Structure 1
Amino acid sequence: MEEQIIKTEYSDVMQKSYIDYAMSVIVARALPDIRDGLKPVQRRTLYDMYELGIKYDRPYRKCARIVGDTMGKYHPHGDSSIYDALVVLAQDFKKGRTLVDGHGNFGSIEGDGAAAMRYTEARLEKITQEVYLADLDKDVVDFVPNFDETEKEPEVLPVKIPNLLVNGAEGIAVGMATSIPPHNLAEVVDAVKAYMNNNDISTEELMEYMPGPDFPTGGIVANKDELLAIYENGTGKIKVRGKVAFEKGKKGKDELVITEIPYTMVGANIGKFLNDVGSLVETKKTSDIVDISNQSSKEGIRIVLELKKNADPEKLLNLLYKKTKLEDTFGVNMLAVSDGRPEIMGLREIIRHHVDFQYVIAGRKYRTLLKKELDKKEIQEGLIKACDVIDLIIEMLRGSKNIKDAKDCLVNGNTEKIKFKTKQSEKMASQLRFTERQATAILEMRLYKLIGLEIEALIKEHSETLKNIEKYEDILNNRVSMSKVITKELDAVKKEFGKPRKTAIENAKEAVYEENKIVEQEVVFLMDRFGYAKTIDKSVYDRNKDAADSENRYVIPCMNTDRICVFTSTGRLHLMKVLDIPFGKLRDKGTPIDNLGNYDSREENVIYIDSLERVKESRILYATRQGMLKRVEGNEFDVAKRTVAATKLQDGDSVLFVGITLENEDIVLQTEKGIFLRYSAEEIPFKKKTAVGVRGIKLDALDFVENIYLMEQRTEKAVMYGDKEVLLHRLKVGKRDTRGVKVRLT
């Protein structure tokens, strides 16, 4: 076979491949189907448990068995994704209705992970078996080949309720994400029934039945008036709050007790909330909290904040709403796969899709049931007819040589190969015209069926079959009858599995918190040679000026409202509020500067520190080991971020010097090999902080700039190079980007 080379544009191949990948993630992994509200991994896991017979009234089975079976048969994307999906389906603090009954450690609301799959067990919940997986044997959904075409799996589960609303959904695909909050099952059922009664019902009218989300953690939805727009468009932000009560403690102190948390706080955010409350106390944003304890247990959430006497609980609550996760937003994006395409839908569209799906399921179910009843009717009529001529049939059977001849006689009246006692019997047998199915049933019929009571039961059963046929035909031919059947099933689901609402929905007042105004005062920032920083009162510094100057590497007078700029060797600038730096006495040790900022002292060295107010009013000189120089206007460093890139560095380069330049200054560069170059600082151009700069000196191979000196013109300055004193003012003034003068050691 000759080799074929196909030439094509690389960009076209990449575009097609990426689109295929994106659609695979969107449709086959990350987003739920609008019909059953399940992602493929969830659907496959539940179906596998159904296939394995792990029902709600049977013993638990190891999760490792479920995961392995699911991966081997239906979902070849790794065991962790399957087990993670299984765990979430069993967590009652994440799902409106759990679909899996977990036995063992399935994680906690505080963010603890589930135990390994070899230790945990699971089985289906009753609701899953009766509402999600029922009727799979009645051809209600299509079955498709699995990944290797050795098994069949359902394309979608025949779920009787809008699972997309009841359990919500979260998923991140390529370029899109879905986020749907859970809702109350009973309210969702009422909304579906209302839509079935009136297809033109508005979203606002639907929300009279289903007013909003019902989170499993309870809490409060605080923006009721905005929910209509969210459910109309399918996108928006729901403001959620924890539920708080005020109690009297054992010692008579007031306690603020959080009994329900916002849904967004589930997991690690509970720990973050506790840390945030601690930070509010440490930073003196509040002094009303004496102690905080997490007393949560299996009975529920209970986070207790002990308050000092005469504390203002309302003011403190507003502070917690503003500064912590006690009030948060749940981003809604009702995105689901509909007809193979991702689509954002409002409440009405989701319910419409669900109802249409229910009519499809019901139609297929009752067509299957009708066919079974028609088959049953055919056999029953054959048996009843056979009982009327049973003597003739017995005579025919006794005269037959084999089953084939007997069956031919029953179906076609062929008597050639059968011996009869009389011609009359042969003539009557020739008139027999049973169907194939009836003939098979007659031949398989046992003699006890000829008992009188058995015949009566057969006639009664036939009567029931005729009633069922009439009923099923009415359901299939009359949409009103089908609606009644669907509604009856919904009522049964609501009655057995409906629960009271947990989440309150209201229009809460906006949390208003006014921070105490900071009284401006002069302070002095001190940092010693070990990197310990603190601020002290200006008057304390003035009284101990000599000691403070001699003991500290940086001494910077500033206002307490200012920020401190920390320039590092990696070209970064770290900004920290003076108020965040510990204020104390002169002899206090202070706090390591790297604990106050965002930088890592193992990777970055502090090159220069100053107050932002002084930096803004100055011109900053940057110099690197490779001799790159630039000047930057100081106001470029006035940014909102805590850490920014203050310069761009070439590969292998690092910042050597950062400092303020004045008018009429000369710069002297000294290299490791003793080359000195002096020229006017005016030759260094102004650049943006993101620029590399210009070359300040021509360096020999393996030579680097070691020191940089600034000196006012017409002034004297001497430095030591090795054991030799170099008079900088005696150096000849040169030009930037030249080689300089070699100073030889004696």
Structure 2
Amino acid sequence: MEGQIIRTEYSEVMQKSYIDYAMSVIVSRALPDVRDGLKPVQRRTLYDMYELGIRYDRPYRKCARIVGDTMGKYHPHGDSSIYDALVVMAQDFKKGQALVDGHGNFGSIEGDGAAAMRYTEARLEKITQEVYLSDMDKNVVDFMPNFDETEKEPVVLPVRVPNLLLNGADGIAVGMATSIPPHNLVEIVDGVKAYMKNNEISVKGLMRYIKGPDFPTGGIVINKDELLKIYETGSGKIKIRGKVEEEKLKGGKVNLVITEIPYPMVGANIGKFLNDVAGLVESKKATDIVDISNQSSKEGIRIVLELKKGADVENLKNMLYKKTRLEDTFGVNMLAVADGRPETLSLKQIIEHHVDFQFEVCTRKHQTLLNKELEKKEIQEGLIKACDVIDLIIEILRGSKNQKQVKECLVNGVTEGIRFKTKASEKAAKKLCFTQRQATAILEMRLYKLIGLEIEALMAEHEETLKNIARYEEILNNYDAMAQVIMEDLDHIKKAYGRKRRTVIENREEAVFEEKKVEEAEVCFLMDRFGYAKTLDKNTYERNKETVHGEYKYVFTCMNTDKICLFTNKGQMHTVKVMDLPLTRLRDKGVPVDNLSNFLSAQEELLCVSSMEAVKNSHIIFVTKSGMIKQVPGTEFDVIKRTIASTKLAEDDELVLVDLCDTMDYVVLQSHDGYFLRFLKEEVPEKKKAALGVRAIKMSDKDYLEHGYLLESRMEYQIGYKEKQMILNKIKLGKRDTKGTKVRV
């Protein structure tokens, strides 16, 4: 077969392919459907469990079986995504209503992962079976072929409550994300009923019933007045705090006990919260906290902060709200797939879509029920009519050669080939006109049905069928009747599965705490050659000055409110707050400086360590390996960031000298090939920190600077050079950007 070449613009092909991929991720994987509030992986997993018969009243089954069956039949995207979805649906601390009953280790609120799927077991929750998967046999939703067209799967589940609100949703698609908080079942049922009674109701009207989110972890929503705008626009930020109780002890002491946490803290953030509190204690910002312990268990959250006697409890609470994740924000973006496309929805729009879907489901359900009742009516009428002419039917049966002859006679009155006892019987047989379904039912009827009581039961059953038909037709033809059926169903669900609200909704003022001012004092900064740093009381330093200068590489006094600047050979300046350094005794070790800053001891070398105050009040000189030099005003380094680029470096270049230079008079440079150049510091131009600088010395292509020194004119500086002592002050004075003097040994 001859191939056909299609010429097209490459950019158009790429654009179409990417859009197709993006829409596939958005609609078929990442975002929930507004009708059932489920993502495809959740829908497929629940339906597969339903198909496997893993019901709430039956034994648990291995999760590996569920995952494997779901992946093989409906969701060919890897087992981890299916198992993760299954686990989350079983975690009642993440979902407003757990949909799966998990047996085994399904993780914890503190971020522990679930056990492997080969160890855990699961089955459907009762609410899932009754509210999410009921009536699947009544043609209430459409089915579509699965990925290989060997099975059928539901397009959507017939969920009878707005699951998008009940359980919320979160997901990241291509260029968009959804984040919907969970809500209280009782409130959303009341909200749906209010909308059905008055579809002109506003979002504000709906919020009389749906107060706001109801997180499974409880907590306190503190921006009640902002919720209306969030629910009207479908996006915004909900501020939520943990619940803190005061536990009074003997002796006037008080413990702070955290019994509920903000929803975003679920998982690893509990550990981060504990670390943050420990950090506040170590940095002496929360001096009232004596101890912190996590006593949480299956019964609930219990994080205990033991306080000093006479602690300022209110101020400490506000500090925790301000400085830790005890107060957090939940970003709301109510994005879902509506009518086949992603759309940001308001609270009313979500309920509107749900109600429309419920009417569609209810219509299909009752139409199916009506059709079944009409079939029953037809058969019952045929049997009742047959009872009246049973003798004639028996005569037809006895006189016929086969079943086909009987059916033809019963349906069309054809008597040819049938032997009758009398002409009257044959004449009566020609008048018979049963339907095909009635004829089949007559042929299948058992003789005991001719007993008088059985005939009476058949008549009673027929009366019940007629009542059902009338009721179903009334529901299908009357909006109010159908609405009443849906509302009665919602009331039943509310009564069976509703529970009290867990999250408090109110307005609270922003947390304000007074940070205790640190008493300013002069301390001595010490750092040894291994990078361990600490501070000493000034009096201790004065008493042991000789020992200190003998044992430590960097020693200088500074204020405890100051910062320490660390300049490295890679052109970085790292800062450390003096308050973050431990105030120790002389023989205490201190802490590694790279633990307190972004300094990487394995990749960077420290060239200069000084206080920020000294840096600001001086000029800094920079000399690079390739021979560039400049002076920079110290005020350029007074920044808030912990790490900045202190200078601009050429590719593969690095610094060999960084130092404060205001009190110095000369610069001495030493190259690898043995050239020394001494010149006046005044020749070094002042530049910005982002400049490369100017050339300091002329060198051959293969030569490079090894060292740089700053000298005072009144002091003598001596160095060792190739086993020979050199006095730097005696090197011939030259000019910047000259070759210098070759020192021969």
Q: TM-score, normalization: structure 1?
A: 0.93
Corresponding residue of 2:742 = 743
User: In percent, how many aligned pairs have the same letter?
Assistant: 69
1:196, CA displacement in angstroms?
A: 0.7
What amino acid does structure 2 have at the position aligned with 1:83? Y
Residue 177 of structure 1: aligned partner: 177
Return the alpha-carbon distance in structure 1 between the equivalents of residues 247 and 589 of structure 2: 41
* 2:82 counterpart letter in structure 1: I
Matched residue SS, 1:257: strand
Q: Which amino acid aligns with 1:339?
A: D
Partner of 1:261: 261
Q: CA deviation at 1:312?
A: 2.5
Deviations along 1:662-711, whole A, 9 cap, x unmatched? Answer: 59966554333334566777777766655666776676566543222345
Offset at 1:385?
Answer: 1.9
CA-CA distance at 1:22 after TM superposition: 2.4
Q: For 1:132-281, what aligned pairs fall within 5 Å after superposition?
A: 132-249=132-249, 253-281=253-281
Measured on the aligned residues, the alpha-carbon RMSD in Å equals 2.8
Cα offset, 1:151, TM superposition: 1.2
Contact 1:719 1:728 in 2 (8 A): no
- Please say if residues 255 and 306 of structure 2, whose CA atoms lie closer than 8 Å, have aligned partners that are also in contact: yes
- The 5 A counterparts of 1:395-414 are 395-414=395-414
Which residue of structure 2 aligns with residue 343 of structure 1? 343
Query: Does residue 100 in structure 1 map to residue 107 in structure 2?
Result: no
Work out whether 1:111 is the aligned partner of 2:121: no
Distance 1:496 1:637, change over 3 A: same
Amino acid at match of 1:674: G
C-alpha distance in 2 between matches for 1:29 and 1:684: 63
Q: Match of 1:209, SS?
A: coil
Equivalences for residues 658-737 of structure 1 within 5 A = 658-662=658-662, 667-676=667-676, 689=689, 703-711=703-711, 719-724=719-724, 725=726, 730=731, 733=734, 736=737
1:359 Cα deviation from its structure 2 partner = 0.9
Corresponding residue number in structure 2 for 1:606: 606
Is the 1:569–1:604 contact (alpha carbons within 8 Å) kept by the matching residues of 2?
yes
CA contact (8 A) 1:675 1:741 kept: yes
Count of residue pairs brought into register by the alignment = 744
The 5 A counterparts of 1:585-624 are 585-624=585-624
Report if aligned partners of 2:607, 2:656 keep a CA contact under 8 Å in 1. yes
1:442 maps to which residue? 442
- 3-state SS of 2:584 partner: coil
Is residue 2:522 matched to residue 1:522?
Answer: yes
Report the Cα offset of residue 719 of structure 1.
4.8
Q: Please give the alpha-carbon distance, in whole angstroms, between the structure 2 residues aligned to 1:208 and 1:639.
A: 50
Q: Distance in 2 between matches of 1:12 and 1:666?
A: 66
Is the aligned partner of 1:131 residue 2:131?
yes
333-342 or 155-164, which deviates more: 333-342
CA distance 1:348–1:718, change in 2 (3 Å) = same
The one-letter code matched in structure 2 to 1:267 is G
Map Cα deviations across residues 14-72 of structure 1 (whole Å, 9 max, x no partner).
43333333222222222211111111111111111001000000000011111111111
| 1:228-251 Cα shifts (integer Å, max 9, x gaps) | 222222222222122222223367
Contact 2:648–2:690 at 8 Å: present in 1 too?
Answer: yes
Aligned to 1:461: 461
CA distance in structure 1 between the partners assigned to 2:100 and 2:77 by the alignment: 21
Letter in 2 for 1:743: K
Q: Which amino acid aligns with 1:329?
A: T
User: Where do 5+ consecutive residues of structure 2 fail to align?
Assistant: none
- Distance (Å, rounded) in 2 between the aligned partners of 1:8 and 1:717: 76
2-side partners of 1:234 and 1:386: how far apart? 64
Shift in alpha-carbon separation, 1:48–1:632, aligned structure 2, 3 A: farther
CA offset at residue 11 of structure 1?
A: 4.0
Amino acid at match of 1:226: E
For the residues of structure 1 that align with 2:70 and 2:114, how far apart are their CA atoms?
Answer: 19
CA distance in 1, matches of 2:165, 2:342: 17
Partners of 1:634 and 1:399 in 2: CA distance: 121
Letter in 2 for 1:109: I
Contact map agreement 2:657 2:709 (CA 8 A) in 1: no
TM-aligned CA distance change 1:699 to 1:612, over 3 Å: same
Distance in structure 2 (CA, Å) of the matches to 1:437 and 1:172: 54
- The residue number in structure 1 matching 2:300 is 300
- Asked if 1:430 corresponds to 2:433, the answer is no
What amino acid is aligned across from residue 291 of structure 1 in structure 2?
Answer: D
Bigger shift: residues 2-11 or 68-77: 2-11
Rounded Cα–Cα distance in structure 1 between residues aligned with 2:651 and 2:395: 105
> Per the alignment, in what secondary structure is the counterpart of residue 228 of structure 1?
helix
Secondary structure of 2:257's partner? strand
CA contact (8 A) 1:670 1:676 kept: yes
Q: 2 CA distance for matches of 1:479 and 1:733?
A: 102
The answer to whether the Cα contact below 8 Å between 2:732 and 2:741 also exists between their aligned partners in 1 is no
Q: Does the aligned pair in 2 maintain the 1:549–1:555 contact within 8 Å?
A: yes
Letter paired with 2:136? L
Following superposition, the deviation at residue 275 of structure 1 comes to: 2.0
Partner of 2:72: 72
Deviation larger for 77-86 or 9-18: 9-18
Q: Distance in 1 between matches of 2:363 and 2:156?
A: 16
Residues 298-329 of structure 1: CA deviation (Å, up to 9, x unaligned): 22222222222222222222222222222222
Deviation at 1:86, TM superposition (A): 0.8
Q: Which moved more, 1:332-341 or 1:247-256?
A: 247-256
Checking the alignment, whether the CA contact within 8 Å between 1:722 and 1:745 is kept in structure 2 is: no
Q: Secondary structure of 1:565's partner?
A: strand
Select between 525-534 and 445-454 the one with higher mean Cα deviation. Answer: 445-454
Letter in 2 for 1:175: G
Gap runs ≥5 in structure 1: none
Specify the code of the residue in structure 1 equivalent to 2:207: M
Whether the aligned pair in 1 keeps the contact of 2:541 and 2:548 (CA below 8 Å) is yes
Q: Distance in 2 between matches of 1:278 and 1:728?
A: 53
CA–CA distance in structure 2, aligned partners of residues 294 and 268 of structure 1: 13
CA change 1:20–1:608 in 2 (3 A) is: farther
8 Å contact kept, 1:664–1:680: no
Distance in 1 (CA, whole Å) between partners of 2:699 and 2:17 is: 49
In 1, Cα distance between the equivalents of 2:247 and 2:303? 12
Inter-CA distance 619–115: structure 2 relative to 1 (3 Å threshold): same
Normalized against structure 2, the TM-score is what? 0.93
The answer to whether 1:360 aligns with 2:360 is: yes
